Amino acid sequence: MNKSLHIVQTFGLHDMQGRTAHVANLTHSMVKLKHTPEIVAAAYNSNYPESLEINSVNVTYLKSNARYRSLTLNVSAKDYLIKRVAEVDIVHIHGLYDLLGPVSSKLCLGIGKPYVVETMGMVFPFGRGGYLKRGYMELFGKTLLNNAARYVVTSKMEAEHLEDAGYDPKKIAFRHNGVDPIRRPESNEIRSFRDKYKLEPGLQKIIFLGRIAPVKNLEKLIQEFYILANLDAILILAGPIDDNKYFHELKKLINSLGIQDRVVWTGPLFGVDKACLFHEGDIFVLPSMNENFGIAAAEAMTVGLPVIATQTCGITEHFEGDAGIVVDFTDGSLVKPMRELLSKNDFKLEIGIKGKKAVELLSWDMAAKLTANMYGEILN
């Protein structure tokens, strides 16, 4: 029975279904394999408990003494981790650009404990804070990565980023993320969802679900949806606001195009509302500039929604045999596929069916087995 310690900056209360949601799913499936994973994360305010149990996995929250956005200073981290690192077989660090990972890796090196880094598409500093991220890589990131036993990646694109940055390709370990099928909502739940967001009947729906952040490149989607404004379609943008300035820039863009009555903002969606979004949608679009996987796109595929994604999204590796549509970043690249999917029902149905079949093998149980096998190779 292997014991693993999972280090993640944000987890659970602050990031319930966001960038680190995969940690909960992965560790829960590892419990089924008779492994004993533990999670350590930062507490963002006094509402966080010292510890709790989620899906049979113990989670410890370290008190934050200072905070800048999602980055925290946790003075108690070293003392706590000295003990925990010594008591587990391997340490699994999820993500970059925080201080918990470097502290953990240094402690691992001090006692000869192996650790792996799941890069989560963060090797190249996309999005906001580029200068700070580059500074982090110089101060902490390069040492953190160079001394890792493995780099866990979820796509070939992410592996290429590591190789291009000069890291050892022999340390790269592929492990897909899992995707849980989205249940079909009851008819009364659908009606409630439509009423809640004032969705007019008879309109086709282009949907996006994810963080509202510059890396998601939503201005491209909005501008190219505007070209389709003569069609009976609306654009639904769902997800938490990760950058307020960017959010207001998008609203200003929408108003300048005069399509504010055809764009619906829902905020973050969970549970029934999330299921309703997927089952009410006609097309899912992921226009990101960088996406190591794209879990929301995979979830859309489980319900038979056709997905359009830019070529820098890891999910496109599962689009073989027309299971989805890949576009580049040239102006108007989204327009043609969106128009064809909205106007040709047979084409939309065909892409949706192929996409649904393509993600059937992406289970968290399989992801956990691949992770456990990787641990075994390192420890042996």
- Rounded to an integer, what distance in angstroms lies between the CA atom of residue 121 and that of residue 118? 9
Name the least confident of 7-21, 204-218, 242-256, 281-295.
7-21
- Each residue's pLDDT tens digit, 164-202: 999 999 999 999 889 988 999 999 999 999 999 999 888
- Rounded to an integer, what distance in angstroms lies between the CA atom of residue 372 and that of residue 89? 12
- Rounded to an integer, what distance in angstroms lies between the CA atom of residue 53 and that of residue 102? 25
Residue 229 pLDDT level (bands cut at 50, 70, 90): low
Which phi and psi (to 5°) does residue 138 adopt? -70, -40
Cβ proximity of 327 and 303 under 8 Å: no
Residue 115 pLDDT level (bands cut at 50, 70, 90): very high
- Going by their DSSP bridges, the two strands 51-54 and 57-62 should be labelled as antiparallel
Closest of 219, 344, 193 to residue 281, by C-alpha? 193
Mean pLDDT of the region 91-117: 95
pTM: 0.82
pLDDT at 12 over 90: no
Closest of 186, 190, 162 to residue 174, by C-alpha? 162
- Rounded to an integer, what distance in angstroms lies between the CA atom of residue 180 and that of residue 182? 6
> Which residues on neighbouring strands pair with residue 267, listed in sequence order?
238
Helices (H) and strands (E) in the chain, counts: 14, 16
The amino acid at residue 137 is: M
Cβ proximity of 309 and 326 under 8 Å: yes
Cβ proximity of 307 and 337 under 8 Å: no
By 3-state DSSP, what share of the chain in percent is helix, strand and coil, each rounded to 5? 45, 20, 35
Cβ proximity of 85 and 108 under 8 Å: yes
More confident residue, 13 or 336: 336
- Each residue's pLDDT tens digit, 284-305: 999 999 888 899 999 999 999 9
- Rounded to an integer, what distance in angstroms lies between the CA atom of residue 303 and that of residue 61? 35
The DSSP-derived string for 173-195 is EE-PPP-PPPPPPPHHHHHHHHH
pLDDT at 1 over 80: no
Q: Quick one: tokens of 213?
A: 């952040």
The CA distances from residue 226 to 211, 231, 334, 340, in Å, are 21, 10, 11, 15
* All structural domains of the chain: 3-178+363-379 (3.40.50.2000), 187-358 (3.40.50.2000)
- Each residue's pLDDT tens digit, 66-96: 888 778 888 989 999 999 999 999 999 999 9
Q: What pLDDT was estimated at residue 17?
A: 46
CA angle 55, 59, 64 (to 5 degrees): 145
The DSSP-derived string for 137-159 is IIIIIHHHHHT-SEEEESSHHHH
Tokens 């973050």 belong to residue: 268
Name the least confident of 59-73, 116-130, 292-306, 355-369.
116-130
> Which residues on neighbouring strands pair with residue 173, listed in sequence order?
152
pLDDT at 121 over 70: yes
Q: What pLDDT was estimated at residue 365?
A: 93
